[in-house]
Amino acid sequence: MTVRRILILAPTLLALFLLQSYFWVPTYEEQTRGNPARLKEYISASIGDASILNPILSADSASSQIESFVFEGLIDRDKDLRFRGRIARSWDITEEAYFYVNEGASIPGLGKADAHEVIRFLKGVKGSPPPGSALGKALEDIREVSLIPPREYQVTREDKLPGKQGKAGKIRFQVHAPARIRLVLRNVNQDLFQDLERLLGPDYFTGFNGLKYLDADLRLDNRVMETYARRILPATEHNPVILFHLRPGIKFHDGTLLTAKDVKFTYDAIMDPKNLSPRISDYEPVKSVEIIDPLTVKVTYKRLYSPALTTWAIGILPEHLLNRDALRAEALRRGEDPKKFSVRMSSFNRHPVGSGPFRFEEWKSDQFISLRRFEDYWEGPPNYDHYYLRIIPDNLTQEMEFYAGTVDDYAVQPHQVKRLESDPRYQSFSGTSFGYTYIGYNMRRKPFDDPRVRRALGMAIDVDKIIRYVLYGQGERITGPFAKQTDYYDAAIKPLPYDPEGALKLLAEAGWRRNRDGWLERQGKRLQFTLITNSGNDLRKAILAIAQAAWKQIGIDVRTDLLEWSVFIQERVNKADFDAVILGWQMGIEPDLYQIWHSSQTHPYQLNFVGFKDKQADDLIIKIRQEYDHDAQVAYCHRLHEIIAREQPYTFLYVGKWTAILDKRIVIRDVDKKGNVVYRKITPTKTGSYTFYFNKWIKLPEVPTFAQDG
Amino acid sequence: MLSFIGRSFIQKLVTLFFVSIVSFLIIHLAPGKPSQIDPMNPKFTPEILERFQKEFHLDKPLYIQYVLFYKDLLTGKTVSWKDNQSVLKKMWDRFLNSLPLFVVGTLLTWTLSFPLGIRSAIFRGGAFDRTVTFFSYLLISIPGFFFAYMLIIFVVTRFHVPVIGMETFGLATTAWTSVAMDRVWHLLLPSILGATGGIAVLSRYVKSQMLEVEGQDYVRTAVAKGLPPEKVHYKHALRNALLPFATMFGLILPGLIGGSVIIESIFSWPGMGRMAYEAILARDYPIILTVNFISAVLVLAGTFLSDILYLLADPRIRL
Amino acid sequence: MIKTADTPRTWNETLDTPSSPGRSRLEESWRLFRTNRLALIGLGIFLIFFCVALLGVFLTSGSNPVFDPALVRLEEKLRPPLSRPNLDALTPGKVPTLGVYLFGTDDLGRDIFSRMLQGAWVSLTVGFVAVGLSVLIGIAMGGLAGYFGQARVTFGHLLACLLLGMGSTWLVAGNKWLAIVLLLTGGALLYISLQDTRSGRNPAKENLWLSWRRLPIMTVETLIMRVVDIMLCFPSFFLILTVVAILPASMYNIMIVIGLTSWMGAARFVRAEFLSLREQDFVTAARALGVGKLRIIFRHMMPNALGPVLVSATIGIASAILTEAGLSFLGFGVPPPHATWGNILSDGKNFIFDAPWLTFIPGFAILIVVLSFNLFGEGLRDILNPKLRKRS
């Protein structure tokens, strides 16, 4: 019967057709070993796709990965974490300091002095400075003293108008600025004015009142006027200056030379509000970026800000492709409104042009991004021909592709590390990540306001076991808020011991005793709270269960909850509506912890959501931020580390280790002094980046024998 | 008939309008804000957050946002918040990717379910029926990712061929037959997985319908008359059993815009399912609303189609 | 022998009583069921699971349970089923009851057997309540749409429903007084409108003020089918995500949500069946005999329409349990450390090669529940629809 035959034939034919396609597909062998071009390609796997390939706009890791190859910044860090110049050949850090002449103050040994007299005085003392003292050193550093004569100017500020129930409006100020003295220094000195006070008298600066030089067009009350006076006419001002000297002859991928105007353009693009760059706050302290000549850029800052230098690792954009004329031309071509067209909308973001070692080739959405090597790279072209980023969202399939040889590296999970380390085909290296995982306690709520309770909670959890079994050894204990590999971290501070008995003792001191059912109780109330974390992270889920079980052992009734990331952050963390959270920080090398630990950052939507407030810590944080001398900074950091470790606002758990597994045949190819080709093993650098010498990597047909040294 | 079509069409339009309002409300009332406005990123100051809000029109009252959004949608100008690309273009690309998967999957499902279900019904209680029933429910009870992994491991370790992705990465040849066949191969495994669930379900329905029809009196009469079993089953019973499936046919339409997130993730298939899922997690409103809107259009068209098919197919029905 | 009536009986009862000696309908059904061995086995297995689930709740709850599902033993992670614990490494409090890991351990060293016991009740309830809810709503909606197809829905009805809807939302939102007022007005209006339809009062005598409520808007069928369409337009995952994010993450909310988002299939099937059944002779006969409408729907037509509904119910159980698994993967669902079959499954996703039992055991349990329910369902269908019985 025909119907029956159709019913049987249709699926069989379909199945046969589909199955026969197997014979057309190249096997893995053909793709890898049988394909010599494969050796010249480096294929990396990523779980998510990139979003915007523009260093000033992107915020996700896949985009950053590509940008690190396509673009290049003025500086970056070398294998010992020191700054090294890339586009910038060298740089100088100096300072311009300003202070207003305080005609009412009496200078010891001089009496009341006007501007010229002060300058003459300073130059005189500078000629024969008191040796060895801080003041002496400060005076030595002064290269030049000059006068800014008094001037009149106007300033407008937007603020709530007085008396009009908080309506915002403009207030105009007439400023009759007095004479100002400008000091150009050889080094940045955050204590300059404290040192100068020895010379000019203890209230030379503090006694300066800008109020009498300021007129407002509206009547404002005294306190408000004083605040404005302090802002518009500050007694002292530090303006650190970085002067970058660029390397000549650096080209963009389209052949254009890179000059200072590209640097300035990058800065302007970041600060342009239309572009909505997430990096604006990094560059907010910048006062101005000036082009001195095509290979020299001068960056002046409004105030002391030591993380400044790091921010210049950002990729430099080509001005000729993204300036106003280019954007307007593109807008007209696409039929968009030129006035609203910003860098964010440009198709440059899907087809970037930079000055890095690899040039952009193609991007197939959610499939792969391909780059090919840039022959005119200033340091010499990289050894690899092609770099591919394949998007493979599933971890297991990534692993399979890696085994098959069609992917050179992927995100290795801790439990896979052991299996792969013992495999002779692969080399592995690991290093500590930049960041840590912790349990944060909301110090605004009882019982977390008592440091003994916080310590006890930390002592009840066996973190070493977590590292051993949950992380498979791929982690290390951490005791404080700095990156463990840097010297800002004080390695002498010991982690909390695993001591449930000790925890019980501490809790008893705080008034918590076991009741009849075994739960801890104080004044009739049980010790009970809720621990939350975000879903989608297996490690945190495991810690949730482990912490709950550990605390149950010592009699604390802990509920747990898993929330979706958005909801977790927006509804609980940002509104500080939680008891305890499990979270992690990913950080850079800079020790600036203002946003996380300063007491002013404890409001909703800010990052000090645990509510940590300590005066000493606040002072140290500000000092660290303004200190340009490395050793002094380290000393401050160690003290801050000690305070935080003592107070335990977090239970610091661990810092994860990253492990990279590569085919053993990938090595560094270098040319030694005699011009011979030499192969060296890849070793990871302190930055956690083992791709440091990536441009020198090459994949050989067989595992080479290594040179004796190197 | 014509009046039915006319009335139905207008009703669907009204429903579409209603759906657009409800989906808009749901998105905006759901907790969580777009991840572009991600305050966990320490570099985001409140000013930037405010600017993003302004850019996305989130500071305006809801009804204005509604009007703005749908104006953009209907003129094709909606832009994703994640990477500023045109939503319609993105959706079209992903649609083209998902389409072959969908087509092959549906073909496999429908061509395999009917023989299996019919045979199960005819030889009810026999070995065939019991095995198929067991396997059907097995496929439904164990989650899809398990079978996906098993299949992939099996094929990769035994046959050493790549299975993930839409095409073999770095395919050297450019002969169009090889490229086409390569694509077909990569379609095979994900379609099988997508189809297994469908086959399990659909074959059960087919069997159930066939059983019902076979129990009717006219079938009994046919057997009593002495007609050969082939004619009884395939000519008389089957035709009537197929009636509800004609209506199901119309409901395939919404599947065009769907796609299983799990299968697409495991096979690195850049399809609609993954895009919609990621958009939901990142609260990328333009994408979510556009996908919702278009899928609503397809659902309404699908139900419309199946209503008409049903009208045409069963003479007993008067609407 | 036909029972002759000494006292007048209604036609309903006459239709119901079988013409064979002395057996009530229930006894007849039970007799049929008993002979169907497979169906009995299905029911039996299902009841066993049910009891085990109840027992499991007792055995695993409290602060010192017999089988502890939350006890973390990191050293014993990922042990295969029936393996002995490493007694040197464990403190006595941590040794599992029964001295052996019956079903193995998961990646935190928790005993899978205890977790399966704890999760049984939750998973079974999620499966059956969600599916039960969806089937009930689906049958009701489909039946009403299919039978009452052409009845007019008046303005009064719609307004009443709107008021009731608003009232319930306000109730959920917490504003009790406004909610009560709205619910009462809505309820009253609905009652009056329904009375109108039933009695078919002459509108000419009506006061103009009240006659607006008679304005016909659309047919019942249109209304219900449009509601089905609207619900179908939203991918269920999306709806569930939203509702679960707004409401607290309790088991009951999830069950209700899954139930409320999956009734559309059943409704469409039932309506389709009803459209064809409505014209069949037995229905015309029943109507002619004066059998009440609701009775016709639920007592006569429904048993014939249940075929596809039963299939989708069986499938729905597995799907509901797995949906709960998917939700717990995203972080909704029952809050940890409470185990459910679903979250044991999703936790085991990463360890498919190292610990396949984490996937097999819950999957197998779900399979058995589903199979047993399927067997039971087939037996049930045979009872309800004599035409489907095997010809013996």
Interface of C with A in 205-244 (CB under 8 A): none
> Which pLDDT does position B37 carry in this prediction?
60
> Which pLDDT does position B141 carry in this prediction?
77
Residue A366 forms contact with B (CB below 8 Å): yes
Average pLDDT, chain B: 82
Q: How far is CA A619 from the centre of its chain?
A: 22
Chain C closest CA to A482's CA: distance in Å? 29
Q: Which amino acid is at C286?
A: A
Nearest-by-CA chain C residue for B149:
C352
For A371, half-sphere exposure in the C-beta direction (CA atoms, 13 angstrom radius) is 31
- For residue C333, pLDDT beyond 70: no
Facing residue for A545 by CB, picked from C108, C249, C331: C108
> Which pLDDT does position A349 carry in this prediction?
92
Residue A25 forms contact with B (CB below 8 Å): yes
Average pLDDT, chain A: 86
Q: What is the pLDDT of residues B236-266, one digit of tens each?
A: 788 778 777 877 777 778 777 777 788 888 8
> Which pLDDT does position A708 carry in this prediction?
43
Percent of chain C with pLDDT over 70: 79
Residue A709's pLDDT band, with cuts at 50, 70 and 90, is very low
On chain A, the residues whose CB falls within 8 A of the CB of B105 are: none
> Which pLDDT does position A514 carry in this prediction?
87
Q: Which amino acid is at C34?
A: R
Neighbours of A149 (CB within 10 A): 9
Q: Which amino acid is at C229?
A: D
- For residue A267, pLDDT beyond 90: yes
On chain C, the residues whose CB falls within 8 A of the CB of B205 are: 308, 311-312
- C226:B15 CB<8 A: yes
On chain C, the residues whose CB falls within 8 A of the CB of A534 are: 331
On chain C, the residues whose CB falls within 8 A of the CB of A550 are: 72
Instruction: Write down the residue that tokens 């394949």 correspond to.
Output: A390
Residue B13 forms contact with C (CB below 8 Å): no
Cβ atoms of residues C220 and C151 within 8 Å: yes
> Which pLDDT does position A644 carry in this prediction?
93
Q: Which residue has the higher pLDDT, B244 or B128?
A: B128
> Which pLDDT does position B31 carry in this prediction?
67
Residue B138 forms contact with C (CB below 8 Å): yes
Round to whole Å and give the CA distance between A673 and A675: 5
> Which pLDDT does position B44 carry in this prediction?
64
Facing residue for A469 by CB, picked from C74, C245, C335: C74
On chain A, the residues whose CB falls within 8 A of the CB of B40 are: 569, 573, 607
| Phi, psi of A447, rounded to the nearest 5 degrees | -90, 15
On chain A, the residues whose CB falls within 8 A of the CB of B274 are: 366, 393
Token couple for B192: 């099988």
Chain C closest CA to B212's CA: distance in Å? 6
Q: How many residues does chain A have?
A: 710
Instruction: Write down the residue that tokens 């609503």 correspond to.
Output: B296
Residue C3's pLDDT band, with cuts at 50, 70 and 90, is very low
- B134:C371 CB<8 A: yes
Give the pLDDT mean for B202-220. Answer: 84
Token couple for B316: 């007993």
Residue A556 forms contact with B (CB below 8 Å): no
Cα torsion angle, A160, A163, A167, A170, sign: negative
> Which pLDDT does position B81 carry in this prediction?
81
Q: Which amino acid is at C336?
A: P
Residue B40: burial class (beta carbons within 10 Å; 0-12, 13-18, 19+): middle
3-state secondary structure of C290: coil
Nearest-by-CA chain C residue for B139:
C367
Facing residue for C331 by CB, picked from A413, A548, A564: A564
- B138:C367 CB<8 A: yes
Q: How many residues does chain B have?
A: 319
Q: What is the ipTM of this complex?
A: 0.84
Chain A closest CA to C279's CA: distance in Å? 30
Round to whole Å and give the CA distance between A431 and A685: 8
Token couple for A460: 């009840």
Give the pLDDT mean for A53-74. Answer: 89
Cβ atoms of residues C249 and B31 within 8 Å: no
Nearest-by-CA chain C residue for B259:
C235
- Dump the DSSP string for A375-409: TT-TT---S-SEEEEEE---HHHHHHHHHHTS-SB
Facing residue for A570 by CB, picked from B32, B152, B181: B32
Q: How far is CA B299 from the centre of its chain?
A: 10
Residue C244's pLDDT band, with cuts at 50, 70 and 90, is low
- B162:A31 CB<8 A: yes
Residue C357's pLDDT band, with cuts at 50, 70 and 90, is confident
Nearest-by-CA chain A residue for B83:
A51
Q: Where are the alpha helices (DSSP H) in C278-356?
A: 281-288, 293-295, 302-330, 341-347
> Which pLDDT does position A691 carry in this prediction?
65
Query: B287 vs A363, B75, B273, C28, C122, CA distance in Å?
Result: 21, 15, 12, 58, 35
- Asked which of A356-360, C274-278, C356-360 is least confident by mean pLDDT, the reply is C274-278
Chain C closest CA to A368's CA: distance in Å? 25
- Asked which of A472-476, A484-488, B185-189, C15-19 is least confident by mean pLDDT, the reply is C15-19
On chain A, the residues whose CB falls within 8 A of the CB of C349 are: none
Cβ atoms of residues A17 and B174 within 8 Å: no
- A567:B31 CB<8 A: yes
Please report all neighbours of A, defined by 3+ CB atom pairs within 8 A: B, C
Nearest-by-CA chain A residue for C250:
A561
Q: Is C249 left (phi over 0), alpha (psi -120 to 50) or beta?
A: beta
- C234:B215 CB<8 A: no
- A396:C352 CB<8 A: yes
Cα torsion angle, A410, A415, A417, A422, sign: negative
Facing residue for B11 by CB, picked from C226, C272, C389: C226
Q: Which residue has the higher pLDDT, B51 or C49?
A: C49
**What order of strands is seen across the sheet that includes strand A525-526?**
A513-514, A520-522, A525-526
- For residue A640, pLDDT beyond 90: yes
Token couple for A193: 């004015």
Measuring CA to CA, which residue among A209, A183, A208 is closest to residue A97?
A183
> Which pLDDT does position A682 carry in this prediction?
72
Q: How many residues does chain C have?
A: 392
Measuring CA to CA, which residue among B202, B96, B91, B196 is closest to residue B151?
B196
> Which pLDDT does position C173 carry in this prediction?
63
For C186, half-sphere exposure in the C-beta direction (CA atoms, 13 angstrom radius) is 17
- Asked which of A429-443, A634-648, C317-331 is least confident by mean pLDDT, the reply is C317-331
Cβ atoms of residues A25 and B185 within 8 Å: yes
Interface of B with C in 260-279 (CB under 8 A): 276
Measuring CA to CA, which residue among B120, B126, B136, B125 is closest to residue B207?
B120
Residue A605 forms contact with B (CB below 8 Å): yes
> Which pLDDT does position A162 carry in this prediction?
66
- For residue A710, pLDDT beyond 50: no
Q: Are strands A75-77 and A83-85 parallel, antiparallel or unpaired?
A: antiparallel
CA torsion, ordered A141, A143, A149, A150, to nearest 10 deg: -20
Token couple for B280: 């939901």
- Dump the DSSP string for A477-504: E--SSS-TTSTTS-TTSPPPP--HHHHH
Q: Are strands A180-185 and A88-100 parallel, antiparallel or unpaired?
A: antiparallel
Q: What is the pLDDT of residues B50-80, one digit of tens each?
A: 777 777 787 777 778 888 888 888 877 778 8
Q: Which amino acid is at C93?
A: G
Q: Which amino acid is at A322?
A: L
Give the pLDDT mean for B75-92. Answer: 82
On chain A, the residues whose CB falls within 8 A of the CB of B104 are: 18
Q: Which residue has the higher pLDDT, A605 or A261?
A: A261
Chain B closest CA to C62's CA: distance in Å? 31
ω into residue C337 within 30 of 0, thus cis? yes
- B295:C233 CB<8 A: yes
- C246:B295 CB<8 A: no
Cβ atoms of residues A49 and A365 within 8 Å: yes
Kind plus residue range of the DSSP H or E element containing A413: none
Query: A110 vs A105, A107, A114, A120, B309, CA distance in Å?
Result: 10, 5, 11, 11, 105
Round to whole Å and give the CA distance between B246 and A50: 43
Interface of A with B in 234-293 (CB under 8 A): 273, 276, 278-282, 284
Nearest-by-CA chain C residue for A557:
C63
Residue A21 forms contact with B (CB below 8 Å): yes
Measured CA angle at B131 (ends B128, B132), to 5 deg: 80
Average pLDDT, chain C: 76
Query: Maximum distance among all alpha carbons in chain A?
Result: 121
On chain B, the residues whose CB falls within 8 A of the CB of A3 are: 234-235, 238
On chain A, the residues whose CB falls within 8 A of the CB of C109 are: 469
- B43:A282 CB<8 A: yes
On chain A, the residues whose CB falls within 8 A of the CB of B280 are: none
Q: What is the pLDDT of residues A118-132, one digit of tens each?
A: 888 888 887 776 777
Token couple for B288: 């979510």
Residues 6+ apart with CB under 8 A from B290: B73, B78, B87, B88, B91
Kind plus residue range of the DSSP H or E element containing B201: helix B176-214
Q: What is the pLDDT of residues A126-178, one digit of tens each?
A: 777 677 777 888 888 888 888 888 888 888 887 777 666 667 778 888 888 88
Indicate which of C108, C344, C347 best probes the interface with A, i.e. most A CBs within 10 Å of its own CB.
C108
Residues 6+ apart with CB under 8 A from A490: A479, A480, A482, A637, A638, A641, A642
- B181:A11 CB<8 A: no
